[in-house]
Amino acid sequence: MRQLFGFPNPVNEVSARLVAAGVVLMSLAALAFQLEWLVVVIALGFIARVSTGPTLSVLGQLVTRVITPRLPVRAKPVPGPPKRFAQGIGVVFAVTSAALLLVFDADLAGWIVLGALAAAATLESVFAFCLGCQIFALLIRVGLVPASVCEACNDIRARTEANLRERELAQEGA
């Protein structure tokens, strides 16, 4: 059993992409209808997910317990630390957007920050391109994040071999 305030490792990329799609939809609704309260909901969701993964996130629970299990796709495990880092960046953007809108009355800036968050979430959900994960990898390469934080991130050969085995198994089953 996982700790309440633990973050899953590995993370199912299918679920991560679906959560990102939920963030995109909520962000677009907030932008289109100028729903400042929804920006607060988005921020709280990111705070919950960076703290506990899907455990305390309504969107995370919906995706991991209801949507993902009903899809005809296999789980795709990816390292958890980069995804948690990406969620942390989401916290910064969502909280900044909410603060600009609700505290500083800087509406244009708040909506622009939310738009940037929606763009990053779109990259994840549509193209499986996790901008936060790329930044995390760069921070490891330049030595600002110790490589020991994510051993699986460094073992590209093991991931490549696992992906090759997965494709071979899928071809055999087809």
Q: What is the pLDDT of residues 56-78, one digit of tens each?
A: 999 999 999 999 999 999 999 99
Is residue 150 very low, low, confident or very high in pLDDT (cuts 50, 70, 90)? confident
Per-residue model confidence as pLDDT tens digits over 19-67: 999 999 999 999 999 999 999 999 999 999 999 999 999 999 999 999 9
Q: Which residues contact 49 (CB under 8 A, 6 or more apart)?
A: 19, 56, 57, 59, 60, 87, 90
Q: Where are the chain's structural domains? A: 11-130
Residue 154: exposure state from Cβ atoms within 10 A (0-12, 13-18, ≥19): middle
Q: Report pLDDT for 151.
A: 81
- Name the token pair of 25: 């939809």
Question: Does 155 have pLDDT greater than 50?
Answer: yes
In this prediction, residues 128-140 reach a mean pLDDT of: 95
Q: What is the pLDDT of residue 160?
A: 47
Residue range 135-156: mean pLDDT, rounded: 86
Instruction: Encode pLDDT of 83-125 as tens digits.
Output: 999 999 999 999 999 999 999 999 999 999 999 999 999 999 9
State if pTM tops 0.75: yes
